[in-house]
């Protein structure tokens, strides 16, 4: 029987728990979100994050910037946020306009306020097996889903499709830390189907609709779909859910799987950074 990994349900539980913890705080955690440009999808993501933070009782600081904002101006704002004692967490919504050097921006975020583990100091710690201030939101949310459904990772063959700095790479590292045997695939991988058929767990974070089809998946595998694709005005993942689901033991839906977990982990990370900065 296939079990649907209900990210929305788990995210709602986590949110309620965060709300309870926050209600007892005199000074509320504060999340600052920078959005440069007018990418419609980014605007929706940022609004959803801000709405969820306010529901929990966090304070938010939203800094929209025009698409022609200079890199200097953007960096200046990050330096100011780094210095503001009341700001505990900083998120720069990606992608940035093409004239801005993403890496300069990421490196400018103070590591102790880096809510999505972008900064190389935090990434380096993750890679070395020390704790970063907080782990990256999407990989953390995926691991939390596995833990919540008691899905064993140790000794499992795991295929991670995608090697981006924010999803694929850190997720591969975090799975290895749980003693899984990880294959990190990307657009130049030649024998993806063969690797997939040999995998106990497949996580697709490619942003490519219908990449994972039923003939890629062995009976009883676990499939996690990170992808967000717009197909004929509908939101689709990377996985052909209808045909893949019957073969799996566990599978995430899109929407309602990884997406809500990412936002819940962003909120959890905001509270954790607040606690670290306030020594409690």
Q: Which residues bind ligand NDP (CB under 6 A)?
A: 138, 161-164, 166-168, 185-189, 205-208, 211, 226-229, 258-259, 262
Report the nearest approach of ligand NDP to the CB of residue 157 (Å): 17
- Among 114, 116, 225, 240, the active-site one is 116
Report the nearest approach of ligand NDP to the CB of residue 137 (Å): 8
The arrangement of strands across the sheet holding 59-65 comes to 59-65, 30-36, 89-92
Measure the CA angle with vertex 227, ends 221 and 229; round to 5°: 135
Report the nearest approach of ligand NDP to the CB of residue 138 (Å): 4
Annotation marks residue 49 as catalytic: yes
- Among 30, 49, 140, 156, the active-site one is 49
Tokens of 268: 């959890």
Helices (H), the chain: 7-23, 40-56, 71-83, 102-108, 120-128, 137-148, 168-177, 192-197, 241-244, 258-277
Report the nearest approach of ligand NDP to the CB of residue 5 (Å): 13
* 104 or 189: CB nearest ligand NDP: 189
CA distances from 97 to 38, 66, 100 (A): 9, 9, 6
Tokens of 57: 């009782």
> Residues 52, 16: contact at Cβ < 8 Å?
no
- Among 6, 28, 30, 93, the active-site one is 93
Query: What is the distance between the alpha carbons of residues 157 and 171, in angstroms, rounded to a whole number?
Result: 14
* 87 or 212: CB nearest ligand NDP: 212
* 176 or 275: CB nearest ligand NDP: 176
Query: What is the distance between the alpha carbons of residues 238 and 36, in angstroms, rounded to a whole number?
Result: 27
* 112 or 207: CB nearest ligand NDP: 207
Active site residues: 49, 93, 116
């Amino acid at each position: 029987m296939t079990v649907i990994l209900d990210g929305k349900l788990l995210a709602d539980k986590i949110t309620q728990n965060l709300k309870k913890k926050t209600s007892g705080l005199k000074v509320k955690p504060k999340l600052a979100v920078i959005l440069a440009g007018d990418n419609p999808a980014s605007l929706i993501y940022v609004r959803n994050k801000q709405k969820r933070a306010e529901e929990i009782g966090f304070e938010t600081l939203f800094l929209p910037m025009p698409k022609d904002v200079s890199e200097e101006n953007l960096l200046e704002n990050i330096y100011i946020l780094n210095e503001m004692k009341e700001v505990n967490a900083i998120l720069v919504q990606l992608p940035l306009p093409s004239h801005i050097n993403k890496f300069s921006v990421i490196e400018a975020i103070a590591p102790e306020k880096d809510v999505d583990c972008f900064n190389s100091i935090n990434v380096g710690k993750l890679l070395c097996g020390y704790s970063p201030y907080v782990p990256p939101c999407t990989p953390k949310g995926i691991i939390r889903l596995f833990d919540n459904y008691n899905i064993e990772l140790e000794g499992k063959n795991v295929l991670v499709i995608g090697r981006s700095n924010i999803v694929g790479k850190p997720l591969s590292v975090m799975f290895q830390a749980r003693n899984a045997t990880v294959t990190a695939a990307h657009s130049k991988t030649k024998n993806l189907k063969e690797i997939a058929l040999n995998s106990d767990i497949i996580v697709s974070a490619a942003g490519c609709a219908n990449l994972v089809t039923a003939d890629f998946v062995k009976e009883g595998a676990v499939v996690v779909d990170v992808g967000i694709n717009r197909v004929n005005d509908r939101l689709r993942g990377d996985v052909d859910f209808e045909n893949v689901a019957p073969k799996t033991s566990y599978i995430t839906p899109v929407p309602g799987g990884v997406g809500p977990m990412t936002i819940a982990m962003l909120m959890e990370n905001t509270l954790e950074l607040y606690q670290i900065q306030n020594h409690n």
